[in-house]
Amino acid sequence: MTQQTASTSPAAPLSPFQEKLRTYIRAGYPILYLVTAEEDRAIKLIAGILKEGEAPRRKPYVWSVSRGLCTVDLRPVAAAAPKNPELILPFLLEREDPGIFILEDFHFFLDERAPTSPLIIRQLRDVIGPFKGSYKTIVILSSVLKIPPELEKDVTVIDLELPDEAELLAILEDNIEQFRDDPKVETNLGEGDRERIVKALNGLTLMEAENALAKVIVTNRRIDARDVDLLLAEKEQIIRKSAMLEFYSTPERFGTVGGLDLLKAWLQQRGKAFSDAARAFGLPSPKGLLLVGVPGCGKSLTAKAVAAEWQMPLLKFDLGKVFAPLVGQAEDNMRRAIKMAEAVAPCVLWIDEIEKGLAGTRGPQGDSGVTARVFGTLLTWMEEKTKAVFTIATANDIEGLPPELLRKGRFDDVFFIDLPTPQERANVLAIHLAKHHRDYNDFALERHVAACDGFSGAEIEQAVISSLYLAFAEGEKAKLEDRHLEQAITTTVPLSRSVDPKVRVLWDEARRKWRRASSEGVAGAAAGADAVSEPPPAPKQPKRVFEF
Ligand SMILES: Nc1ncnc2c1ncn2[C@@H]1O[C@H](COP(=O)(O)OP(=O)(O)OP(=O)(O)O)[C@@H](O)[C@H]1O
Ligand SMILES: [Mg+2]
């Protein structure tokens, strides 16, 4: 399969990546560091910006330890060009002609564990001055970002964006062309089908897109709109392999989240702001939301429900895996995950229990600031992102949140999710009874709502499940009755009653500090020492049950 793409052919306009690269090269930046796993594509894109007639003409060359210095079509340049990494930089320094020298896998020789790294780092620093005025540029091309601190100020890092739609369309056209005369493969593309297929490929590297497309065509022997679902499934597999991001599918909707009316209204309003009409109106794309609060009251549940409500894919981002030693370099992982999320945009990026993932950003953790740097990358992205990736983060340990995270500009808002009010408890009870095929009208809801004062949503759910066990123990045909619910509720000791008083103080602070997710009444009457002694009575027929 050919890899010639629209944006690399000489006549094609430059892609934004190429424009950016050209600006750096023209401005005389001596060392660029290009992070990408797509070597071939990167080399073609670099070659593509050096059009005929540009003065002075800078030719691109590729150096690797296996082949030495070659042209981009891999013809050796000079017999004298060394393969030895210790000799290549002095060789380039001596060379008179201008050029762009792409050094493959050079990060290996910059690693502090490599015995020659002090020499090579010094050599790189030595080329900076002379290269500045000489139309020579070094491009370190590597799939991992590894810059020794001595070079940090002298090296400019550029990320190769994933292929744009023009590049992906070129692959599709290649395939259509390739199978044009093949009677075993049927091609049937209507209006808009090409665009749908290209959109389904969005987020993959060129190689991944080619492989996914080839697999789908070979398996189904057709190129048509029905391929889209299969391509999406392929994409899901590929993203799953990235280990840090997971396509999360869930049955939860706002309808299965009890209460939290203010939060839901906020989300409903923001959900409309992803459209082109909102941009035309002058609205920015919503950035994200931080949910803090009492455990088990619906933080994660809301995060899950919102994506479905907005009909966007939900990507769960496991921050812990960013630091997993086997997955690669933490900083690289963070950048890759961000790129992947952006490629799937519009989407919801869910970071559950963010404070746990970020443990280590405060105080010395013996990881030489890696956690802090990775966290910094995340924060900068959250503030500057332009793609429609809505970040929804949840946090349990309010104290563990680094203050930088809460600074304005990172999230659109911070909500505190409290223990449910009586009305909300009625909603939650009704929802969980319905989940287990029971109708709340058959139960003395008011009594149970009062009895589970101080319960979290999760505890109410558990009480419903326990009551079902109690009923089932009496026989397969037994009916779930009020007494079962009553017994399950009275034997539950909610966390809000047993929790450390210090945590209770934190909850109180958070209640005052952050936006409340629910509008009704006083939460969890029995929860705090200074709480209201009598909860407001729950309505007999909770009027808002199921009116979400
Ligand atoms: N408001 C609610 N409406 C319906 N069910 C709820 C609600 N709150 C909690 N639950 C039930 O409890 C389960 C656990 O809630 P969830 O995971 O959202 O809690 P959380 O706030 O994220 O807690 P943690 O801080 O421990 O992570 C949910 O899956 C759901 O079944
Ligand atoms: Mg949670």
* Domain CATH code at residue 223: 1.10.8
Ligand found nearest the CA of 296:
1
**In angstroms, what is the span from residue 501 Cα to ligand 1's centroid?**
22
Q: Tell me if 140 is assigned to some domain.
A: yes
Q: Tell me if 55 is assigned to some domain.
A: yes
**In angstroms, what is the span from residue 394 Cα to ligand 2's centroid?**
7
Q: Which residues contact 276 (CB under 8 A, 6 or more apart)?
A: none
Q: Which of ligand 1's atoms lies nearest the C-alpha of 353?
A: 27
- Give helix 193-201 / helix 227-241 axis angle, nearest 10°: 10
Both 471 and 400 in one domain: the answer is no
Phi and psi, residue 64, nearest 5°: -140, 160
CB atoms inside a 10 Å sphere around CB 240: 11
Give yes or no for a cis peptide into 98 (omega within 30° of 0): no
Residue keyed to tokens 């003395």: 444
pLDDT score at 488: 96
Ligand found nearest the CA of 431:
1
Both 150 and 288 in one domain: the answer is no
Q: Best of 248, 256, 299, 301 to mutate for ligand 1, by most ligand atoms within 8 A of CB?
A: 301
Ligand found nearest the CA of 297:
1
* Domain CATH code at residue 29: 3.40.50
From 159, 175, 205, give the residue that closes a domain: 159
Q: Which residues contact 338 (CB under 8 A, 6 or more apart)?
A: 377, 378, 381
Both 146 and 189 in one domain: the answer is no
H or E stretch covering 245:
strand 245-247
Q: 314-331: per-residue pLDDT in tens?
A: 999 988 888 766 555 787
From 138, 159, 180, give the residue that closes a domain: 159
Q: Tell me if 322 is assigned to some domain.
A: yes
Give yes or no for a contact between 459 and 451, defined as CB atoms under 8 angstroms apart.
no
Starting from the edge strand earliest in sequence, which strands make up the sheet with 31-35, in order? Answer: 68-71, 59-64, 99-104, 136-142, 31-35, 155-159
User: Which residue's CA is minimally distant from atom 23 of ligand 1?
Assistant: 296
Q: How many residues does the chain have?
A: 548
Both 385 and 494 in one domain: the answer is no
Both 330 and 208 in one domain: the answer is no
Give yes or no for a contact between 435 and 312, defined as CB atoms under 8 angstroms apart.
no
CA 483 centroid distance within chain = 46
User: Which residue's CA is minimally distant from atom 6 of ligand 1?
Assistant: 457
Q: 288-302: per-residue pLDDT in tens?
A: 999 999 999 999 999
pLDDT score at 362: 54
pLDDT score at 368: 57
Q: Tell me if 546 is assigned to some domain.
A: no
Q: Which residues contact 292 (CB under 8 A, 6 or more apart)?
A: 299, 394, 395, 396, 398, 401, 414, 415, 416, 417, 510, 514
pLDDT score at 241: 67
Ligand found nearest the CA of 417:
1
**Burial environment of residue 412 by CB neighbours within 10 A (0 to 12, 13 to 18, 19 or more):** middle
Ligand found nearest the CA of 303:
1
Q: How far apart are CA 168 and CA 307, in angstroms?
A: 26
Phi and psi, residue 452, nearest 5°: -100, 35
H or E stretch covering 213:
helix 206-220
From 125, 159, 193, give the residue that closes a domain: 159
Both 38 and 183 in one domain: the answer is no
Q: What angle do CA 389, 229, 313 make, to 5 degrees?
A: 20
Single-letter amino acid code for the residue at 281: F
pLDDT score at 349: 95
The tokens for 459 are 């505890």
Q: Tell me if 135 is assigned to some domain.
A: yes
Q: Tell me if 544 is assigned to some domain.
A: no
Q: How far apart are CA 102 and CA 32, in angstroms?
A: 9
User: Which residue's CA is minimally distant from atom 25 of ligand 1?
Assistant: 295
Strands 59-64 and 99-104, by their bridges, are parallel
Q: What are the angstrom distances between the C-alpha of 486 and each of 295, 445, 467?
A: 23, 10, 8
The tokens for 454 are 């101080």
Maximum C-alpha span of the chain: 92
* Domain CATH code at residue 496: 1.10.8.60
Both 173 and 48 in one domain: the answer is no
Residue-by-residue pLDDT tens, the chain, 548 positions: 334 444 444 456 788 888 888 889 888 899 999 988 889 999 999 988 876 555 556 889 999 999 999 988 888 887 677 899 999 999 999 888 889 999 999 999 988 888 888 999 999 999 998 988 788 999 999 988 888 888 888 899 888 878 888 889 999 999 889 888 888 888 888 887 888 888 788 878 888 889 989 888 888 888 888 888 888 777 777 777 667 888 887 888 889 999 999 999 999 999 888 877 888 899 888 999 999 999 999 999 999 999 888 888 899 998 888 876 655 578 778 888 888 888 777 889 999 988 887 775 555 445 557 778 888 889 889 988 888 899 999 998 777 778 888 888 889 999 999 999 999 999 999 999 999 999 999 999 999 999 999 999 999 999 999 999 999 999 888 999 999 999 999 999 999 998 888 888 888 888 888 899 998 654 443 333 332 223 333 334 443 333 32
* Domain CATH code at residue 400: 3.40.50.300
Q: How far apart are CA 540 and CA 546, in angstroms?
A: 15
**In angstroms, what is the span from residue 393 Cα to ligand 1's centroid?**
14
Phi and psi, residue 188, nearest 5°: -145, 90
Q: Best of 461, 462, 503, 507 to mutate for ligand 1, by most ligand atoms within 8 A of CB?
A: 461
pLDDT score at 361: 57
Phi/psi class of residue 329: alpha, beta or left (left: φ > 0; alpha: ψ in -120 to 50)?
A: beta
Q: Best of 254, 297, 518, 546 to mutate for ligand 1, by most ligand atoms within 8 A of CB?
A: 297
Q: Which residues contact 481 (CB under 8 A, 6 or more apart)?
A: 471
Single-letter amino acid code for the residue at 109: F
Q: Best of 300, 314, 401, 436 to mutate for ligand 1, by most ligand atoms within 8 A of CB?
A: 300
Sequence-ordered strand ranges (E) for 36-170: 59-64, 68-71, 99-104, 136-142, 155-159
**In angstroms, what is the span from residue 454 Cα to ligand 1's centroid?**
14
User: Long-range contact list for 490-495, CB < 8 A, 24+ apart?
Assistant: 490/451, 491/466, 492/452, 492/455, 492/459, 492/462, 492/463, 492/466, 494/452, 494/454, 494/455, 494/456, 494/459, 494/527, 495/294, 495/295, 495/296, 495/456, 495/459
Give yes or no for a contact between 244 and 327, defined as CB atoms under 8 angstroms apart.
yes
Q: Which of ligand 1's atoms lies nearest the C-alpha of 258?
A: 3
**In angstroms, what is the span from residue 297 Cα to ligand 2's centroid?**
8
Both 141 and 171 in one domain: the answer is no
Q: How far apart are CA 305 and CA 291, in angstroms?
A: 13
Both 394 and 317 in one domain: the answer is yes
Residue keyed to tokens 């890899």: 3
Q: Tell me if 41 is assigned to some domain.
A: yes
User: Which residue's CA is minimally distant from atom 11 of ligand 1?
Assistant: 458
**In angstroms, what is the span from residue 247 Cα to ligand 1's centroid?**
20
Q: Tell me if 119 is assigned to some domain.
A: yes
Q: How far apart are CA 197 and CA 179, in angstroms?
A: 16
Q: How far apart are CA 471 and CA 477, in angstroms?
A: 9
Short-list 486, 487, 504, CA closest to 495: 504
Both 370 and 502 in one domain: the answer is no
Sequence-ordered strand ranges (E) for 356-454: 389-395, 413-417
Both 201 and 222 in one domain: the answer is yes
Residue keyed to tokens 């550029």: 158
Q: How far apart are CA 523 and CA 273, in angstroms?
A: 31
pLDDT score at 447: 95
Coil/strand/helix, residue 365: coil
Q: What is the pTM of this model?
A: 0.68
Which residue range forms the structural domain that includes residue 335?
254-417
Give yes or no for a contact between 364 and 187, defined as CB atoms under 8 angstroms apart.
no
Give yes or no for a contact between 134 and 95, defined as CB atoms under 8 angstroms apart.
no
Instruction: Find the residues whose C-beta lies inside 6 A of ligand 1.
Output: 257-260, 295-301, 394, 396, 428, 431, 457-458, 461
Q: Find the radius of gyration of the CA atoms of the chain.
A: 29
Both 408 and 261 in one domain: the answer is yes
pLDDT score at 536: 33
**In angstroms, what is the span from residue 460 Cα to ligand 1's centroid?**
10
Query: Structural domain tally of the chain?
Result: 4
